[in-house]
Amino acid sequence: MSREDDRLRIAVEKQRIPIVTLDNKWHKIWTMIEKPGSVKKDEKVLNDLLRRQGKLGCELKDIKKLKKKLMDEIVSSMDEAENEGKVEENKRLIEECNDKSAGLEEELDTLPEKIDELNRNIMFETAECCYYCLHSNEKEINELAEWIGNIRVELKKNVVRKQEMEIQNGIIYGYMNDIFGASVADLMELKYNPMDRLNQLKAIRDEQRNKEKDKEKEAEKEKG
């Protein structure tokens, strides 16, 4: 067992762990992480134990109801000699109820410890899977962040380069237009008018300058 496993095991032992298979958040974890076969196996056993615990509890309640009914019948029949046979039969049935109750209670008493032990083991396996998933994701997140940072730098460079070339084309086209007139588009075999893009860039830059001036004015007002 690794040092990380030791730490996780100790943490699980210290905590009060709710029944994991009854927790929707626990089930949601496994929609994001592949559930190991060992967890699936333990999950089934735990659910079987929980169902058995519920069934035993219901059976005990039914036996107690039956026992009370039998005792009530004995009390109501004690003064009637003709009911002696029924009284004896009820006593026998009560003994059977006692024996069955004792067996059920004995089994029921063993279940909480078994359930808790298995539940903690599942929680340990869950924490272990979460630990390795978190660290794996963190590694990839850092790699993606670095890649995105590099792409942003490269993107900014390419945007500037693109604008510079568009400006160049606009200036060159403008000069050619002055020399050759409207036929310059056919002469240079261009599919667009670089002057239009140049004017767009100028409009964008003017808008940016105006926004910067507005921000400066707002800053001065706040200082004043």
- How far lies 189's CA from each of 153, 171, 183, 186, 193, in Å? 34, 16, 10, 5, 10
Chain segment 27-48, per-residue pLDDT in tens:
999 999 999 999 999 999 999 9
Distance CA 165, CA 118 (A): 69
Q: Which pLDDT value is given to residue 11?
A: 83
Element (H, E) at 114: helix 84-180
Flag whether pLDDT at 101 surpasses 50: yes
Flag whether pLDDT at 59 surpasses 80: yes
Distance CA 87, CA 71 (A): 9
How sure is the predictor about 2, in pLDDT bands with cuts at 50, 70 and 90?
low
Chain segment 125-134, per-residue pLDDT in tens:
999 999 899 9
Chain segment 130-146, per-residue pLDDT in tens:
989 999 999 999 999 99
What share of the chain in percent tops pLDDT 90? 46
Report, as an integer, the average pLDDT of 200-204: 82
Report, as an integer, the average pLDDT of 2-17: 79
Q: Which pLDDT value is given to residue 1?
A: 47
Flag whether pLDDT at 195 surpasses 80: no
Residue written as token pair 């009530």: 72
Distance CA 220, CA 113 (A): 71
How sure is the predictor about 224, in pLDDT bands with cuts at 50, 70 and 90?
low
Distance CA 208, CA 50 (A): 67
Higher pLDDT: 158 or 223? It is: 158
109, 82 in Cβ contact below 8 A? no
Average of per-residue pLDDT values in the chain: 86
How sure is the predictor about 60, in pLDDT bands with cuts at 50, 70 and 90?
very high
Q: Which of 19, 111, 107 is CA-nearest to residue 60?
A: 107
Chain segment 66-100, per-residue pLDDT in tens:
988 888 887 777 666 566 777 788 888 888 898 89
Span between the terminal Cα atoms of the chain, in Å: 67
Report, as an integer, the average pLDDT of 188-207: 79
* 4-10 contact pairs (CB < 8 A, 24+): 4/131, 5/128, 8/124, 8/127, 8/128, 8/131, 9/124
The tokens describing 175, both together, are 């000069």
pTM comes to 0.67
Neighbour-count burial for 38-48, b at 16+ CB within 10 Å, e otherwise: ebeebbeebee
